[in-house]
């Protein structure tokens, strides 16, 4: 449905869903880390949904913008990572896995919120399209970006959140070797994106999840 919009309209529709999907994801890591005893993010003023505190110009602005303008299939990005010091946790590996999974969970919660916003737009309908259409379009964009971020971050590629969860189940020596891949993680992700392998990996789970959330929005 986004194809009928001009470039300027697409940017207007996507800007808030993208920024908040990325920044709330990072803030969620910090909030949970504090609950488990690490105040590092709080001390640096990162326990906030204020996008200015989290924006990474490449990951939050430039890359999502290029993906939006070039129509590569889906949009994703990242914010400045919230600092977490696992040495402050009682069970560092276990607690780090909980902190990591908080990011994707926050995206699922936001996808629900955006689905309800789209549902509100659907209920208003043609009686006031100047209100209903922005709500519907933004709601669909919010569902899409949050589901994509949740699924991508669950991939077991260091330093993505999925790798932190997997680390908690690996023997210590194997976990150490596995996490050495972190220096290549960004390159691996770009290769997967460029070769369309990422699209193939995410196609079915994303299709299933989008249908579920569009049903919540009353659009399926």
Average pLDDT of the chain?
91
- Percent of all residues in the chain with a pLDDT value above 90, rounded to a whole number: 69
Query: Once rounded to an integer, what is the mean pLDDT over residues 16-43?
Result: 94
Q: pLDDT class for 72, splitting at 50, 70, 90? A: low
Q: Is the pLDDT of residue 65 over 90?
A: no
What pTM value is reported for the model? Answer: 0.91
Catalytic residue among 4, 26, 129, 182: 26
CA distances, 149 to each of 25, 111, 146 (Å): 9, 10, 5
pLDDT at 121: 96
Q: What whole-number distance in Å separates Cα of residue 54 and Cα of residue 84? A: 14
Q: Is the pLDDT of residue 185 over 70?
A: yes
What's phi and psi for 97, nearest 5 deg? -65, -40
Listed by start position, the domains of the chain span 2-216
Q: pLDDT class for 215, splitting at 50, 70, 90? A: very high
Q: What whole-number distance in Å separates Cα of residue 220 and Cα of residue 75? A: 22
Query: Once rounded to an integer, what is the mean pLDDT over residues 28-33?
Result: 96
Bigger pLDDT: 214 vs 196: 214
- With CA atoms as reference, report the closest residue to 68 among 24, 8, 119: 8
Q: Is the pLDDT of residue 73 over 70?
A: no
What 3-state class would DSSP assign to 211? helix
Q: What whole-number distance in Å separates Cα of residue 199 and Cα of residue 206? A: 9
Query: Once rounded to an integer, what is the mean pLDDT over residues 64-86?
Result: 80
Catalytic annotation present for 26: yes
Would you say 85 and 38 are in contact if contact means Cβ atoms under 8 Å apart? yes
CA diameter of the chain: 63
């Amino acid at each position: 449905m986004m194809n009928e919009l001009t470039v300027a309209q697409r940017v207007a529709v996507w800007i808030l869903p993208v920024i908040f999907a990325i920044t709330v994801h990072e803030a969620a890591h910090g909030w949970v880390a504090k609950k488990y005893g690490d105040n590092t993010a709080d001390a640096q003023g990162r326990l906030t949904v204020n996008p200015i505190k989290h924006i990474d110009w490449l990951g939050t602005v430039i890359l999502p913008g290029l993906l939006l303008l070039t129509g590569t299939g889906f949009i994703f990005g990242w914010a400045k990572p919230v600092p977490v010091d696992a040495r402050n946790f009682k069970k560092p590996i276990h607690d780090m896995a909980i902190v990591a999974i908080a990011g994707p969970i926050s995206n699922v919660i936001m996808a629900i919120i955006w689905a309800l916003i789209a549902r509100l737009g659907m209920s208003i309908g043609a009686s006031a399209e100047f209100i209903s259409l922005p709500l519907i379009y933004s709601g669909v964009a919010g569902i899409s970006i949050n589901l994509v971020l949740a699924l991508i971050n669950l991939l077991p590629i260091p330093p993505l959140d999925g790798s932190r969860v997997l680390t908690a189940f690996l023997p210590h020596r194997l976990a150490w070797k596995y996490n050495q891949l972190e220096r290549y993680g960004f390159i691996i992700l770009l290769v997967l994106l460029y070769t369309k392998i990422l699209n193939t990996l995410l196609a079915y789970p994303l299709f299933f999840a989008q249908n579920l959330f569009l049903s919540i929005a009353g659009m399926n």
